[in-house]
Amino acid sequence: MPIIKDRRIVEDGWTHVAPDAAALPAGDIIVPLAVWKSRKEELSARNGGLGLRLEPGEHPGEIVDDLPRFSMIALNFPNFRDGRAYSYARLLRERYGFKGEIRAVGDVGRDQIFFMARCGINAFEVKAGKSIEDALAALSDFSVTYQNAADTPLPVFRR
């Protein structure tokens, strides 16, 4: 499945692991927080990239000490109205210094992508049935931003 990563359309090499999965697939995997907590030693010992999926209500402060173990953090947007993951992305980038991929998953629509990127999200699994090319164009909707954010630390009057 193609995704948007670093302002380009690329093939996704990651596999989402279900919360009740008995066996872990080979390669790069994204695990839910509950799986990480219950199988931390097993996951730390395996080869391949390790990503963590956070649901709304699973604050990134819970995994601060483990952040160096993850190549990627996937933040779930279960519906348009739930914006907690915007705050989580900003915390991961600015407070906790996470340099890896932060991916938006779930109900990711074109009208949100520009603002998600401002919060520090650099990869997007676009909602099924929507044009990924159109979603990519959303990253260029605005040429000037006034406020500081994770993607632009200085406000316009300081630039």
Does 158 have pLDDT greater than 90?
Answer: no
> In angstroms, what CA-CA distances link 99 with 57, 68, 122, 138?
22, 9, 10, 23
Give the rounded percent of residues in the chain with a pLDDT score beyond 90: 76
What is the H or E stretch that residue 35 is in?
A: helix 33-38
The one-letter amino acid code at 32 reads P
| Long-range pairs of 83-88 with CB within 8 A, sequence gap ≥ 24 | 84/56, 84/57, 85/54, 85/56, 86/115, 86/116, 86/119, 87/119, 88/54, 88/59, 88/60
What pLDDT digit, counting tens, does each position of 70-100 carry? 999 999 999 888 889 999 999 999 999 999 9
Tokens representing residue 75 in the block: 């933040």
| pLDDT for res 13 | 94
Q: Is the predicted pLDDT of residue 14 greater than 80, yes or no?
A: yes
| Res. 39: pLDDT tops 90 | yes
Domains and CATH numbers, the chain: 2-158 (3.20.20.70)
Evaluated on CA atoms 114, 116, 119, 124, the torsion sign reads negative
Pairing of strands 101-106, 123-124: parallel
Q: What is the pTM of this model?
A: 0.91
Give pLDDT, residue 33: 97
Mean pLDDT of the region 58-71: 96
